[in-house]
Structure 1
C-alpha cells in the first residue's frame, strides 16, 4: 500500500479528470490525501480519499477575472508564489510527517510541483489540457497586445522567481513553472491522435484519454435532434449570447438544453422558447450521451467529453487556451468555428453540423481513440509504476 498526495487548483475542468483516478488508486489499496477545496470535498471524499481544503490560502478572485483568465501570465505567477509561500509551513510539515511515496499535481497547480521538488518526492504531472512544450506553445496564437502585456510583466515575474529561490525552490526561468518537460512523468487526459504534435513528446508522456465515470443517459425523449449549449463554469455570464441562441433556434426543429451558469439569472433572459430547457447547470455527461450537437466554449474537459461520446461541435472559444483546443477540433474535422455569435450565424452553424455526416464520423473516430487509450486504469498504473521505480532505486542505492 502506497501513500499518494494530489494537488489541484479550484477548477472543475482540472479536478474532474482526477476524481476517477483517485477512486481507482484507493480501490487498489493506496492511501490518498488530496489538497483541494471545500467545493470539491464531497466528491473527493466519496472516492475514499482524504480531502484537505486549501481555501484559506487562496487570494480572492480579481474583479476582472474574465479578462485575466488565460491572458495574464504575471498574475498567474503572482498567485503561484503567494499560495506556495502561504501554504508551505502547513503543507511541508504535513508532508514530512506523512512521508508520501508520490505527489501528483495538476500542471497549473504549480505549488504541488514545487513542494515535490523541494522534498525530493517522486512527482507525476497531471495534465488536463493539451501537453505543452516549446513546439506546441505556438498553438496558443496570442494577440500582439497579449504578448506585449506578457513582456511588460517580466520584471515582476523575475522578482517573484527570485523570491521563490530565496525560499529554497530551484526555479531558474518562468517557463519551468508551466512547461511540461521531457523528463517528468506526465499523464495527459487525451489521446495521441487528438494531442497536437504528439510526436514531439518523450515516452515520459502517457496519453490516457479522458478519465470519466459514465452515468446513465438523462432519459431525454428524442423525437428530433438535441442541441446542447454551455460556456463552461468560469466565463459563462453572457446573457446576450444566450439570447442569441434562443433567437437562433426557437423555430428550428430541434430540442435545446442550455446551461447558463450560476451567475446568470434565467429570468433576465426573457421568454424561454418552448423547445428550450435552461438551467444553471446540468449533468453534462448525461446530456452528451444523447446530444447531436454541442455549442461549446471549447474548454478541454468539455471538448474531451463531447468527443468521447462522438458528438460534433460548434466552437466558440473565449480565451487563448480554448482557441488552441477549438483549432485542434477543426483540424480533426469534428467541429466548426462560430466566430461572431449572432442569431443568424448560430442557426447556420448548428444546422450545418446537424446535416453533415462528415463531422459526426470524425467525432466518432476521435471517440474510438479515446476509448482505446487506457483511461483511468492506465493513469493509475503510471502512478504506481513511478512509486515502484523510486522504491527500487532507493534499495539499489543502499
Structure 2
C-alpha cells in the first residue's frame, strides 16, 4: 500500500445532497494518480464516470426517495432501522465487486455501519464523510433535530428492532469484542465535513480528527446563465432536490414578485412542470433546472429550503438568504443561519405571498447581513474544498502506512 498510488473505495449515499460534494473529491484523487472505486446508483453513475473513477452499482440500491411531507418523532424513530437495513443489504455486493481489499474505505455518515464493518474486516483505515453538521460532546445533531420533530419514544418498536439487528450484525462480524464496541461508537473515526469550521455548531471544540473543507466546488452542468440587461435585482428561488414537490409554493412566489423590480429565477426540480405555474409575468422565469452557481453569481437574495447544499452554494457566492425550512435538519440549518445573522427565516406554515415578499425585501435592504455573509464567504472559500479533502485522505493513508511500519 502506497499513499501515492493507492486504491480508494468510496461509499457515498446516493442522494444529491450527499453525492454532489463527493464528485470533485473523486476527480481530484484520480488526477493525483489514485485508483478510485465508487459505488453509486444509476442516477449518478455517469457523473461518477466523468471524474475518472470506476463505478459499481449499489445492489439493492438504497432508497433515494424524497422524505415524507412531515417528519415527526415516529418517522425519526423508524429512519435508523431503514438505513441499517439498506446498509446491511449492500454489503455482499460491495465485497463481491472488488478484486481485493482497497487501501482505505471512505464512507458517507449515513452508511456508517457499511463503511466501518468493511474497513474492520479488511483491517484498513476508514474515513467518514459528512454533508452536514457533525456531532461531539458539545453538539449533537440528533438532539437538535428532535427539538423540531418531537422527542422519540425510546420504547418505539422500530428502535427495539434496530437494536436487535445492529447487535446481530456487530456480534456476527467475527471481530474481537473491543473492535465491536468501536464499530458502533466510532469515537476514533476521522471525518471530513463539507462545511467550514466557522459554520459548524461549536466548531472550535472539534479536534484534529475532523477536517472542515467547505463546499467542494461542483461546477454547473451545461451553459451558464446571464441576467437580463434591465439591471433588476435577481432573486433565485429553489427548494432543492428533496422537498420540491410544492407547486403552490412556487405559484405563491410568482404572485409575490410579479411586476415588481425583481428578476425572479425559479428552479423547480424534477417533480413540478413549469406549465403548472400558469402564465408567468415578464420578470419571472421558471425551469426544471438552472445553473445555480451561475445564477447565484448575479443574485441579491436566495429564497430556499435551507438544505445544506443550497446554503453552502449561497455562502460561497456571498448571497444572503430567506429560508423556509421543511424538515428537522433544515430547521437546524436555519437556526445556525439566524444565529450567525446570515438569513431570515419564514416558517413553512407562515409562508404567505405577503410574508415571502416582505422577507425578501428586508433581506435585500439589510447591509449588515450582507457584510456578515461576505465575511462567511471568506471562510467558505478558504476552507479548502476538494483539494483539502484529497489531502486529508492522503494524510490518513500515510498515517496508516507509518502505523504498519
- The TM-score normalised by the length of structure 1 is 0.90
Map Cα deviations across residues 57-112 of structure 1 (whole Å, 9 max, x no partner). Answer: 435848x73335997344333233322332222222344x3221111111112223
Q: Does 1:370 align with 2:373?
A: no
| Residue 341 in structure 1 maps to residue 351 in structure 2 | yes
SS at match of 2:39: strand
Aligned to 2:48: 44
| Cα distance in 1 for residues equivalent to 2:33 and 2:244 | 39
SS of 2:377's equivalent in the other structure is helix
Q: Which moved more, 1:137-146 or 1:354-363?
A: 137-146
Deviates more, 1:156-165 or 1:184-193: 156-165
Contact 2:105 2:126 in 1 (8 A): yes
In the alignment, what sits opposite 2:105? 103
For structure 2, which runs of at least 5 residues remain unmatched after alignment? none
Task: Spell out the pairing of 1:119-158 with structure 2 (5 A cutoff).
Answer: 119-137=122-140, 140-143=144-147, 146-149=150-153, 152=156, 153-158=158-163
Q: How many aligned positions are there?
A: 391
Name which of 225, 230, 242 aligns with 2:233: 225
Give structure 1 stretches of 5+ with no counterpart: none
TM-score by length of 2: 0.89
Q: 1:71 to 1:83 in 2, by over 3 A?
A: same
Shift in Å, 1:259: 1.2
- State the partner residue of 2:325: 317
CA 180–214 in structure 1, closer or farther in 2 if over 3 Å, else same = farther
1:143-172 per-residue CA deviation (whole Å, 9 max, x = no partner) reads 486313565242122122123224318799
Q: What's the secondary structure of 2:102's corresponding residue?
A: coil
Instruction: Tell me how far 1:293 sits from its aligned partner.
Output: 0.5
Flag the 1:300–1:71 CA change in 2: closer, same or farther, 3 A: farther
User: For the structure 1 residues 196 and 151, does the alpha-carbon distance in structure 2 shift closer, same or farther, using more than 3 Å as the test?
Assistant: farther
What is the deviation of 1:373?
1.5
Task: Go from structure 1 to structure 2 and tell me whether the alpha carbon gap of 1:180 and 1:194 turns closer, same or farther (over 3 Å shift).
Answer: farther
Query: 1:192 matched to which residue of 2?
Result: 197
Q: Which residue pairs with 1:6 in the alignment?
A: 10
The answer to whether the 8 Å contact 1:227/1:295 transfers is yes
Q: 1:390 aligns with which of 385, 388, 400?
A: 400
1:381 matched to 2:388: no
Map of 1:1-398 to 2, 5 A cutoff?
A: 1-54=5-58, 56-58=60-62, 61=65, 65-68=68-71, 72-95=75-98, 97-110=99-112, 111-137=114-140, 140-143=144-147, 146-149=150-153, 152=156, 153-168=158-173, 181=187, 183-214=188-219, 217-222=224-229, 223-339=231-347, 340-395=350-405
* Displacement of 1:25: 0.4
Question: In structure 2, how many angstroms separate the alpha carbons of the residues matched to 1:375 and 1:184?
Answer: 20
Q: Distance in 1 between matches of 2:73 and 2:150?
A: 10
Q: Look up the SS of the partner of 1:193 in the other structure.
A: coil
The alpha-carbon distance between structure 1 residues 200 and 72, as it changes in their structure 2 partners (threshold 3 A), is farther
Cα gap change, 1:56 to 1:79, in 2 (>3 Å): same
How far apart are residue 136 of structure 1 and its match? Answer: 1.7
Distance 2:81 2:369 in 1: 42
Note if contact 2:192-2:389 (Cα within 8 Å) is conserved in structure 1.
Answer: yes
Quote how far apart the aligned CAs of 1:186 are: 1.0
How large is the RMSD of aligned CA atoms in angstroms? Answer: 2.6
Secondary structure class of the residue paired with 2:29: helix
The answer to whether the Cα contact below 8 Å between 1:309 and 1:367 also exists between their aligned partners in 2 is yes
Q: Distance in 1 between matches of 2:232 and 2:115?
A: 47
Q: Is the 8 Å Cα contact of residues 72 and 150 (structure 1) preserved in structure 2?
A: no
Deviations 1:34-62 (A, max 9, x none): 01111111111111100111153435848
Question: Structure 1 pair 283/169, CA: closer, same or farther in 2 (3 Å)?
Answer: farther
